[in-house]
Amino acid sequence: MNNIAPVILKTYDPHWPVIFNEEAEKIKMTIGRHILSIDHIGSTSIPGSLAKPEIDILIGVESLDEAEFCIEPLKNIGYIYFKKFEEIIPERRYFRKSDGLTPLYHIHMVEKSSNFWHE
């Protein structure tokens, strides 16, 4: 049994920024006091780009310690926290919201003063 959704690329959808803004508002309402900045990143943020129809969200925080306070509230709006990914990229906290196997949103939470943020 395959538990991985197939990768599907789509032509740019001008509705993607609207989808990002709607989700960003939900996130701000949920964990806004921990957020310094929230941005739409990745291929769905580039007009005209071919992309996986998954919205990548970059959240800048003062310290990664803030992520601990965000796990449960984000879970309440459908996000799963993947602690195991800290082994691969320790300077990022990764959350995903999906529709079954199909990822819909990815949150990359990093310190706003970090190289990860600037790169």
**In this predicted structure, what is the pLDDT of residue 48?**
94
pTM above 0.95, yes or no: no
**In this predicted structure, what is the pLDDT of residue 68?**
92
Burial 21-57 (b: 16+ CB within 10 A, else e): eebbeebeebbeebbeebebebbbbeeeeebbbbbbb
- Phi first, then psi, for residue 49 (nearest 5°) are -80, 145
pLDDT tens, N- to C-terminus, the chain (119 residues): 456 667 889 999 999 999 999 999 999 999 999 999 999 999 999 999 999 999 999 999 999 998 999 999 999 999 999 999 999 999 999 999 998 777 899 999 999 999 989 88
The tokens 């989700």 sit on which residue?
Answer: 23
